[in-house]
């Protein structure tokens, strides 16, 4: 798959990832990695008494999986992931839910260096019912094509 450079995409272009099912193993591994052993994520009996009625994935686990789903879409000539803007966790992801991401290029910003620029993407994480579970903006630093 060839890389997509700054000049190759116009504001308004949209992409959608493939789906990925979030598993108990994903959440357990994330808990170990992050040391976030909140009972909401790892204890079914505790979770039954919560608003969700079952265990749910960590919001940051879902965000991490989303970053991997990014690479199932046209591959950008990425230099760096620069950050999130206005990121919101708006719904729970339960074990067995399948998530995907949709991105729309909201803005292109120049960089002080002429060989790179910023893409600002409106990004949504959706579950199998197409309900938004997370959303906000991702800021990506990308390469420009070399001048002849």
Domain boundaries, the chain: 6-143
What is the percent of the chain with per-residue pLDDT over 90, rounded to a whole number? 95
Six-digit token string for 77? 């000539």
pLDDT for the residue numbered 1: 57
For the entire predicted model, the pTM comes to: 0.92
Six-digit token string for 36? 């976030």
pLDDT for the residue numbered 147: 62
pLDDT for the residue numbered 128: 98
pLDDT under 70 in the chain at which residues?
1, 147-148
**Alpha-carbon gap, residue 28 to 30, rounded angstroms:** 5
pLDDT for the residue numbered 47: 96
Nearest Cα to Cα of residue 21 among 127, 135, 133: 127
**Mean pLDDT score of the chain:** 96
pLDDT for the residue numbered 9: 95
Overall fold of domain 6-143: Thiol Ester Dehydrase; Chain A (3.10.129)
Please list the residues that pair with 107 across neighbouring strands: 120
Residue 123 contacts residue 137 (beta carbons within 8 Å): yes
**Alpha-carbon gap, residue 142 to 78, rounded angstroms:** 4
């Amino acid at each position: 798959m060839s890389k997509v450079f700054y000049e190759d995409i116009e504001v308004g272009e949209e992409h959608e990832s493939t789906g990925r099912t979030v598993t108990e193993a994903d959440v357990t591994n994330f808990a170990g990695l992050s040391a976030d052993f909140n009972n909401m994520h790892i204890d079914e009996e505790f979770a039954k008494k919560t608003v969700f009625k079952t265990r749910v994935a960590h919001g940051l686990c879902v965000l991490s999986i989303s970053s991997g789903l990014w690479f199932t879409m046209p591959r950008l000539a990425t230099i760096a992931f620069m950050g999130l803007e206005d990121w919101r966790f708006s719904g729970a992801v339960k074990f067995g839910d399948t998530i995907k991401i949709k991105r729309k290029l909201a803005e292109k910003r120049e960089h002080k260096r002429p060989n790179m620029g910023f893409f600002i993407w409106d990004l949504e994480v959706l579950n199998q019912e197409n309900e938004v579970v997370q959303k906000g903006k991702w800021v990506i630093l990308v390469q420009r094509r070399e001048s002849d």
